[in-house]
Amino acid sequence: MMCGHRDVPQEQIRSFQAARRRSKPHVLAMYAYPMNKGVSATPAITNQLEYAASAYLRSARHQPVQWRSWSEAAFAVAQAEDKPVLLDIGAVWCHWCHVMDRESYEDAEIAALINRHFVAVKVDRDERPDVDARYQAAVSAISGQGGWPLTAFLTPDGRPYFGGTYFPRDDRYGRPGFGRILLAMAQVWRERRDEALETASSVMAAIEHNESFSGRGAGAEALTLSLADKIAASAIAQFDPRNGGFGSQPKFPHPAALDLLLEVAVNRNNGQARAAFTTTLEKMAHGGVYDQLAGGFHRYSVDERWVVPHFEKMLYDNTELLRNYVHGYQSFVREDFLATAREIVAWLDSTMTDRERGGFYASQDADVGLEDDGDYFTWTLDEARAALEGEELDWAAQYYDIGELGDMHHNPAKNVLHIQQSLAELAAKSGRDTDALRTTLNSARGKLMAVRSRRPAPFIDRTLYTGWNAMAVTAYFEAAHVLRMDSAKEFALRTLDRLLAEAWDGESTLNHVMAYPDGAAPAEKAPGTLEDYAFTAHACTDAWLANGEMKYYRAAVKLADAMIARFYDRVGDAFFDAAAPPEGTAPLGALAARRKPLQDAPTPAGNPTAASALLRLETLSGRSEYRAIAEDTLASFAGIVEHFGLYAGSYGLALERLLLDPVQVTIVGSGAAADQLEATAVAGFAVNKTVMHITPSHLVPGGVPEALAETVLQLPAPAAGAWALVCKGRTCLPPITSSDELLQALTSA
pLDDT digits (tens, 9 = 90+) for 609-627: 999 999 999 999 999 999 9
Q: Give me the pLDDT at residue 33, please.
A: 31
% of the chain at pLDDT higher than 90: 81
Instruction: Over range 44-52, report the average pLDDT.
Output: 82
pLDDT at 741 over 50: yes
- Give yes or no for a contact between 703 and 550, defined as CB atoms under 8 angstroms apart: yes
Mention the CATH class of domain 661-749: alpha beta
CA 652 from chain centre, in angstroms, equals: 17
For the cut 80, the answer to whether the pLDDT of residue 35 exceeds it is: no
Query: What is the reported pLDDT for 21?
Result: 39
Strand segments (E) across 391-543: 460-461, 464-465, 513-515
Pick the CATH number of 10-211 from 3.90.1150.10, 3.40.30.10, 3.30.360.10, 3.40.50.20: 3.40.30.10
* Helix, strand, coil % in the chain, rounded to nearest 5: 50, 10, 40
Beta strand 723-728 with 689-694: parallel, antiparallel or unpaired?
unpaired
Which pLDDT score, from 0 to 100, does residue 7 have? 56
> Contact at 8 Å (CB) between 100 and 91?
no
Query: How does the average pLDDT of the chain come out, rounded?
Result: 91
Q: Rounded CA gap, 570 and 265, in Å?
A: 36
Strand partners, 329: none
Angstrom distance (rounded) from CA 121 to CA 133? 16
Tell me: the pLDDT tens digits for 383-407? 999 999 999 999 999 999 999 999 9
Q: What is the pLDDT of residue 67?
A: 98
pLDDT of 445 > 70? The answer is yes
- Residue 617 to residue 613: CA distance in whole angstroms: 6
Same fold, 10-211 and 661-749: yes
Render 591-627 in DSSP notation, one character per residue.
GGS--B--S-SSSPPHHHHHHHHHHHHHHHH--HHHH
Nearest residue to 664 via CA among 610, 702, 609, 707: 707
**Which residues face 300 on adjacent strands?**
310
- Tell me, what's the pLDDT at 16? 37
Task: Find the Cα–Cα–Cα–Cα dihedral 171, 175, 178, 182, rounded to 10°.
Answer: 120
Lowest mean pLDDT among 75-84, 208-217, 674-683: 208-217
Predicted pLDDT of residue 29: 36
Please state the rounded mean pLDDT for residues 697-702.
86
Cβ-in-10-Å burial (0-12, 13-18, 19+) of 502 comes to: middle
Average pLDDT over residues 140-165: 94
Q: Is the pLDDT of residue 254 over 70?
A: yes
pLDDT of residue 78 exceeding 90, the answer is yes
Q: How confident is residue 608, by pLDDT bands cut at 50, 70 and 90?
A: very high
Q: How far apart are CA 187 and CA 568, in angstroms?
A: 42
pLDDT score of 279: 98
Per DSSP, helices labelled H in 145-224 are 178-191, 193-211
Residues 214 and 571: their CA atoms lie apart, in Å, by: 11
Q: What is the mean pLDDT of residues 113-135?
A: 97
Q: What is the pLDDT of residue 19?
A: 39
Q: How far is it, in rounded angstroms, from Cα 471 to Cα 475?
A: 6
Between 46 and 632, the more confident residue is 632
Burial degree of 196 (CB within 10 A; 0-12, 13-18, 19+) = buried
Q: What is the mean pLDDT of residues 113-131?
A: 98
Quote the pTM value: 0.93
Cα distance between residue 158 and residue 148, in whole Å? 19
Taking residues 477-500, what's their average pLDDT? 97
Q: What is the pLDDT of residues 276-289, one digit of tens each?
A: 999 999 999 999 99
- Quick: pLDDT tens for 646-660: 999 999 999 999 999
| CB 345 within 8 Å of CB 322 | yes
Region 686-698: mean pLDDT is 91
Q: Is 352 exposed, middle or buried (0-12, 13-18, 19+ CB in 10 A)?
A: buried
Domain segments of the chain as ranges: 10-211, 377-455, 661-749
Q: How far is Cα 476 from Cα 2, in angstroms, rounded to an integer?
A: 31
**Confidence at 578, pLDDT banded by 50, 70, 90:** very high
pLDDT in tens, 536-547: 999 999 999 999
pLDDT value, residue 8: 47
